[in-house]
């Protein structure tokens, strides 16, 4: 990792260089912004550490130069106590962090490591991020491609997926990829509005339409004019209102409550639900004609348990977020904690994983998250999974250890989609050991 130090205090610059180089970083030191700018153009810099007050130009003037670079380095400011307000303004403008003189060297080194690790993560995320969604699995890459295709059309979309999978993010991505991206994006949870207010909420009302309606109201469909309206949990919409929504989709008009005039609207409808719409139709909870109108463009958001290595990718991302917020010093998970995550089925999907990492970060006092830092339901799931394997077996029927090892190794490889490096990390062995185990299993077979 290459660090550019901009500091005019010769003694402090020498001390920082020695400490940073002792940590294995490559450091170049200059004493002014004017001397720093040519190095940013000619060298591959990962982190800029700059004093706020320098001879000539202020250290903050480096910030727009740094932020304009491709693969921009992180930026850490050093400031005297009296200039903290100025440093806070720099943070709002895009600086990554600041240190106040005199600073503790251990804290400085920890901050440097955190910023560089976060930059590495952002670089590794790269092409795996899509409109706020993160995923490198085949299932997510296929979803991203489908979003791009559906966004080019202008018909209604049905987004299906379990709770916590990110259906609203999918809807936002469709909007942002479409020609409507400059228009409004509105989202409403159909389960969160009292049924007696739903019609007025969606279609608006004329003044005096009912008691308390002193003023007319446009309604969500007209407020989203030229843009996109997400109807989350559409399965909770009453059947009578579903019929009126179908008319909007077919005719492109709405009639406010208490009005005798139709009003034309230009809005794209995206409906989302965690329920099975065909089952709802069969149970007469959802209109079949509305389902047929919505299903032309149907997107299925995969549950986390079907996303392979995305669990590890998301775990590292959420943990780095916690580090950036200053809530934890935790940098990694122990092998036992990794195994619990790998074996857990995550009924709450990405949202549950994010909450689990936030909880673990709060309770972890060191640099390594261990099983006891994870939520109890994850640990209990691990215990019950082990019990379910052996429950009811007599001592004579218990399998030998080598058999269990082979089965578990293949299970881990299946979960990591054949990624041997990640599988070896989870198993707590070197890749050479893993290859030897696989070769022995093949020879025995």
Pick the CATH number of 134-302 from 3.40.50.300, 3.90.45.10, 3.30.1360.230, 1.10.287.3510: 3.40.50.300
In the chain, which segments carry CATH 3.40.50.2300?
2-126
Cβ neighbors of 334 (< 8 A, separation 6 or more) are 368, 369, 370, 371
Model pLDDT, residue 319: 86
Task: Judge whether 46 and 116 are in contact, CB under 8 Å.
Answer: yes
Cβ neighbors of 171 (< 8 A, separation 6 or more) are 157, 159, 185, 187, 228, 230, 270, 272
Pairing, β 332-333 against β 368-369: parallel
Q: Taking Cα atoms as reference points, which of 219, 234, 127 lies closest to residue 189?
A: 234
Measured distance CA(255)–CA(244) in Å, rounded: 9
What kind of fold does domain 324-394 have according to CATH? Helicase, Ruva Protein; domain 3 (1.10.8)
In the chain, which segments carry CATH 1.10.10.60?
399-445
Model pLDDT, residue 213: 61
Measured distance CA(134)–CA(146) in Å, rounded: 15
What kind of fold does domain 399-445 have according to CATH? Arc Repressor Mutant, subunit A (1.10.10)
- CA distances for 154 relative to 144, 183, 215, 220, 300, angstroms: 17, 14, 33, 18, 18
* DSSP state, residue 69: S
Measured distance CA(72)–CA(119) in Å, rounded: 9
Cβ neighbors of 264 (< 8 A, separation 6 or more) are 252, 253
Positive/negative CA dihedral, 182, 183, 187, 190: negative
Exposed / middle / buried, residue 321 (Cβ in 10 Å: 0-12, 13-18, 19+): middle
Model pLDDT, residue 208: 57
In the chain, which segments carry CATH 3.40.50.300?
134-302
Residue ranges in the chain modelled with pLDDT below 50? 384, 388
Residue carrying structure tokens 């994010």: 354
Measured distance CA(188)–CA(174) in Å, rounded: 16
In the chain, which segments carry CATH 1.10.8.60?
324-394
Which CATH number is 2-126 given? 3.40.50.2300
Task: Judge whether 187 and 193 are in contact, CB under 8 Å.
Answer: no
């Amino acid at each position: 990792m290459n660090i550019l130090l901009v500091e005019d205090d010769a003694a402090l610059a020498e001390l920082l260089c020695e400490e940073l180089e002792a940590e294995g970083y490559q450091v170049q030191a200059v004493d002014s912004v004017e001397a720093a700018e040519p190095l940013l153009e000619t060298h591959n810099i990962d982190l800029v550490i700059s004093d706020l007050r320098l001879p000539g130009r202020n250290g903050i003037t480096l910030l727009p130069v740094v932020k304009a670079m491709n693969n921009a380095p992180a930026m850490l400011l050093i400031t005297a106590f009296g200039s903290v307000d100025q440093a806070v303004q720099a943070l709002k403008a895009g600086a990554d962090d600041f240190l106040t003189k005199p600073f503790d060297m251990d804290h400085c080194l920890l901050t440097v490591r955190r910023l560089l690790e976060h930059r590495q993560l952002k670089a590794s995320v790269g092409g795996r991020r899509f409109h706020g969604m993160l995923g490198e699995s085949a299932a997510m890459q296929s979803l991203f491609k489908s979003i791009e295709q559906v966004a080019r059309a202008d018909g209604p979309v049905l987004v299906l997926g379990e709770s916590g999978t990110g259906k609203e993010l999918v809807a936002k991505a469709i909007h942002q990829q479409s020609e409507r991206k400059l228009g409004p994006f509105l989202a409403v949870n159909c389960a969160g509005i009292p049924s007696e207010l739903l019609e007025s909420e969606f279609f608006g009302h004329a003044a005096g339409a009912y008691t308390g309606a002193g003023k007319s109201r446009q309604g969500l469909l007209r407020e989203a004019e030229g843009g996109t309206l997400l109807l989350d949990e559409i399965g909770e919409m009453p059947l009578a209102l579903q019929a009126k929504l179908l008319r909007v989709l077919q005719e492109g008009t709405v009639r406010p409550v208490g009005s005798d005039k139709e009003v034309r609207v230009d809005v794209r409808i995206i409906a989302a639900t965690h329920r099975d719409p065909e089952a709802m139709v069969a149970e007469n909870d959802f209109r079949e004609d509305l389902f047929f109108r919505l299903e032309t463009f149907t997107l299925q958001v995969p549950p986390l348990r079907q996303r392979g290595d995305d669990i590890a990718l998301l775990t590292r991302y959420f943990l780095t977020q916690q580090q950036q917020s200053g809530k934890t010093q935790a940098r990694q998970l122990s092998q036992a904690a990794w195994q619990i995550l790998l074996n857990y089925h995550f009924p709450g999907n990405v949202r549950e994983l994010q909450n689990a990492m936030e909880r673990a970060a709060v309770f972890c006092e060191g640099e390594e998250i261990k099983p006891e830092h994870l939520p109890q339901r994850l640990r209990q799931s691990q215990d019950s999974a082990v019990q379910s394997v052996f429950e009811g077996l007599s001592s004579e029927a218990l399998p030998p250890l080598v058999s269990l090892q082979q089965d578990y190794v293949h299970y881990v490889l299946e979960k990591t989609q054949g990624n041997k490096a990640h599988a070896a990390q989870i198993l707590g062995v070197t890749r050479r050991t893993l290859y030897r185990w696989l070769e022995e299993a093949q020879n025995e077979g």
